[in-house]
Amino acid sequence: MLIVTLKSNREAKIINGYPNVFRDEVKSVEGDKEEGCICNVFSDDYQFLGKGFYSHSAVAVRMLTNHDEEINEEFFTKRLKMAKKRREKIFKDSYRLIHGEADLLPGVIADKYGDFVALQIRNRGMENRKDMLVNAIAKVVRPRGIYERSDFQTTVSDILTKNVGLLYGEMPPDILFVEEHRLKYKVDIKKGQKTGFFFDQRDSRAFVRKITPQDALALDAYSYTGGFALNMKKAGAKKVIALDKDRDAIELGRMNAMINGLDNIEFIETRYEDYLSTYKGPPFDIIVLDPPSIIKRKEEQKKGLRIFQDIIALARVHLKDGGILGLCSCAYAIDLNLLINALKRAYDKSGKTLQVLGITYQSQDHPWVLSIPESLYLKCIWVKVS
């Protein structure tokens, strides 16, 4: 068994539940250093801290447990049962089933779409034990099929292959349906972004329905398959414009509007910046800005602040006095304070008051853990500008 010993006084965060041991925190490594192998982790004074996956990357160990237990199919089955139990009383049919470290399964994302599960694996340790994980999901969830979507962009240091395909049971159909807040969405779990649907914005979609003015002209600037657009129309908006540069997402958005009987939603395949820089129409009553992840590291926060300022500044020109602006970030490295600062700077010397209507975070099927700051990644701030 590989043994990893930490430097002096580096054990507290691991004892408190933080899952990552960084390379510069390691004093010594004894044994065969195979990527993704199980290792025992000890403090500098030989206190056993737990077991994890060893890696040659900047994250030397991804902790699995603080106990001396076997990492086998039974281990994964217990974790799956815990994750399912947390969610099944809150969510009916479709939801995030496993949320990585927050569910004590680092590097695993699993979304349940009715009778099917989409699985994404993000480290070699889990990839090496994929069969155990799949068997555990099959045993606990009993889906008709499990489909792998490990085709995300990854760092070279993780040495991961991009795997897509059926892992268990039946091949899922090309299109599945998700129902949320009395709206239906077509989802493509084989080709859609991430695993096909962004469950994490569930609470934000519900909130935007509450604050959308009647007969509003609304803009969903990064619409994907129309989550915010549909909810603003359902709330009583007169017309909604939904923008996305992904042609397949735009087509699904149009289908989603049609199957929900919602008209006057115009889906346009374009970049947000290109559209608004030439827009000549009337100002919007509400604009939702939910761009893809802009930065990956805390060290890039200045860059992130600058980009968000530019995004907001463009929206500001086309927002009606008294209009509502929603600003979201799905990047852990961009915290709520950065979003607030971006809003302040974009509206500096404008004479406008920004009244906060609410702040929304990722939904409950994407739990966050106090000892794992990275597990809280999604935040949206909603302001009235007058």
Active site residues: 330
Report residue 275 as tokens: 């559209």
Distance between CA atoms of residues 219 and 270, nearest Å: 13
Distance between CA atoms of residues 344 and 340, nearest Å: 6
Three-state SS for the chain is CEEEEECCCCCHHHHCCCCEEEHHHEEEEECCCCCCCEEEEECCCCCEEEEEEECCCCEEEEEEECCCCCCCHHHHHHHHHHHHHHHHCCCCCEEEEEEHHHHCCCCEEEEEECCEEEEEECCHHHHHCHHHHHHHHHHHHCCCEEEEEECCCCCHHHCCCCEEEEEEECCCCCCEEEEECCEEEEECCCCCCCCCCCHHHHHHHHHHHHHCCCCCEEEECCCCCCHHHHHHHHCCCCEEEEEECCHHHHHHHHHHHHHCCCCCEEEEECCHHHHHHCCCCCCEEEEEECCCCCCCCHHHHHHHHHHHHHHHHHHHHCEEEEEEEEEEECCCCCCHHHHHHHHHHHCCCCCCCEEEEEEEECCCCCCCECCEHHHCCCEEEEEEEC
